[in-house]
Amino acid sequence: MQRRQRGVSTGLLFLFYEISQVGFQNIPPVTLGILALNIILFLNPLGALSEVCISVNESFYRKNWQRLLLSPVHHADDRHLYFNMVSMLWKGIMLERKLGSIWLAYIIAVFSVLTGVVYMVLEYVLAEILDDPSYKMSCAVGFSGVLFALKVLNNHYHPGRFSNVLGMQISSKYVCWVELVAIHLISPGSSFAGHLAGILVGLMYTVGPLKKIMKACAGI
């Protein structure tokens, strides 16, 4: 999640290049659909960022619950879209092959909503603990919270791997936490709470009760 204004479309061109390198025929349907949805809504947003972003004030106090669905699929600028969708491209391919298209679609739908809910809880707690109401007004957009949750899943289903983060080889067991800090240091405008919310939702699924609850709701 980020809180920036949209810029030029260079990132969009790079994104199309990355997708073409993989090949449309090699991208599973749900992953391709998520990419298409985010690109379409970047080119034709359903509202200004201030009208789709998620915050405690706008989404909870003012009951604009639709922002739970709108905020993940809107992006602040083309760079924001590029990095999120390239990440979705590779995570989506791996997870869709592992879990199947229907279950991945279900996971993304649930994670999109839950990440927003957990984000608001974190911002509310910070506002109360620090006695700083600005946290309740902090408004975020972007798919990166969901991506952090998917990263937790991907590392869970593909253990033992290492990732390069700022020149360091980090075990997949810890890479989410290292990337959480690294991204915030590199891009201070990013939403730390939004990314942390994604990790927590991912852990709710892998080590918590969320997976069983989802299966029960799906009648499995």
The CATH number covering residue 111 comes to 1.20.1540.10
Q: Has residue 1 been placed in a domain?
A: no
Tell me which of 1-15, 97-111, 161-175 is least confident: 1-15
- Please state the pTM of the whole predicted model: 0.91
Q: Has residue 190 been placed in a domain?
A: yes
Q: Has residue 69 been placed in a domain?
A: yes
DSSP 8-state code for residue 2: B
Q: What percent of the chain has pLDDT over 90?
A: 79
Angle subtended at Cα 115 by Cα 158 and Cα 187, rounded to the nearest 5 degrees: 80
Q: Has residue 3 been placed in a domain?
A: no
Q: Has residue 83 been placed in a domain?
A: yes
Mean pLDDT to the nearest integer, 79-105: 96
Contacts of 42 (CB under 8 A, 6+ apart): 6, 12, 74, 75, 78, 81
Q: Has residue 198 been placed in a domain?
A: yes
Which residue out of 74, 75, 80, 195 is catalytically annotated? Answer: 195
Single-letter code of the amino acid located at 54: I
Q: What is the structure's pLDDT at 186?
A: 86
Q: What is the structure's pLDDT at 171?
A: 80
Q: How many residues does the chain have?
A: 220
CA distance 40 to 73: 9
Angle subtended at Cα 3 by Cα 73 and Cα 96, rounded to the nearest 5 degrees: 30
Residue 2 has pLDDT above 70, yes or no: no
Q: Which domain holds residue 121?
A: 10-218
* Confidence bin at 215 (pLDDT 50/70/90): very high
Q: Has residue 182 been placed in a domain?
A: yes
Nearest to 82 by CA among 180, 9, 187: 9
Annotated catalytic, 195? yes
Which residue out of 59, 112, 144, 190 is catalytically annotated? Answer: 144
Q: Has residue 5 been placed in a domain?
A: no
Looking at the structure of the chain, the number of domains it has is: 1
H or E, element range at 170: strand 168-171
Single-letter code of the amino acid located at 62: R
CA distance 219 to 2: 36
